[in-house]
Amino acid sequence: MSDDRRVVETDSAIEAAIRENHPALITYLTAGDPDLASTTRYVEALDRGGADVIELGLPFSEPIAEGPTIQSAISRALEAGTTPDSFFDLVESIETDAPLVVMTYTNLLMQYGPAESGTDVAPFVERAADAGLDGVIIPDLPASEAGGVREACEAAGLDLIAIVAPTTEGERLETLLSTTSGFAYVQARLGTTGARTDVSTATHESLKRLDGADVPVAVGFGVSEPEHAREIVAAGADGVVVGSALVELAATSDDPERALEATARELKRGARAGTDANAIPEPERS
């Protein structure tokens, strides 16, 4: 949460996009839900609507960080035949201004590539970079075991984005902030992903702990409404991450492309409203 949010001196396309478009809207969709061709259209609709960074979920059979909405989307994508290779082909076909990020799980990185590579994550990371991705988020990767993935990402020019839980503090928080790149992904509340009706008090406490961070700070897990975006940005975040609400919209709307574009525009408008901090008092909680 630097004061020089629009002064961009970074090799990271993700960090540059967040600072140049502050406050940033970061969106998530599950790749392959309901199929890869639809994902291409949906992602490009979010880009038109003002998404500044776009996460694409690479389906994995045990998505421990995901709530029911994204778990269902992952099941649909796997049933439709989405694989890591078809995912990378999809990324190569997408044309957006927003940088693209893959969100997936450690096991897929370790299994990708020729048999002789064993559990080396480099083949996955190198293929991700070749496909045009700019960053990686791995919810089940402990910070203490991230060294190999980080080295591979640095060699390939990808950001490895760390997730900061509400319980992360002290030396562990300092370690995460010193090693994350692109942005710090603040988990708004404990538990799994999923749209919520309010902003957790834990979000405000987390943002206070991260005040002064050298990388941009964006909050996800439960953000679904423009008012949420406004409150979170007013509390000091550089951006918001919206996933489950968009996944649900894509699955239920009669016109998903139009709905996604319009909703992204409203969420971005909400985030911008939060830059007038004096107009957004922190809500009282019981």
**Which positions are annotated as active-site residues?**
55, 66
d(CA 86, CA 11): 28
Radius of gyration of the CA atoms of the chain, in A: 18
Amino acid at the residue 189: R
List alpha helices for 119-215, DSSP H: 122-131, 147-156, 170-179, 201-209
User: How is the beta sheet containing 135-137 ordered, strand by strand?
Assistant: 159-161, 135-137, 100-103, 53-57, 24-30, 239-242, 217-220, 184-187, 163-164
> Can you read off the two tokens belonging to residue 10?
């970074």
d(CA 55, CA 83): 17
d(CA 160, CA 176): 11
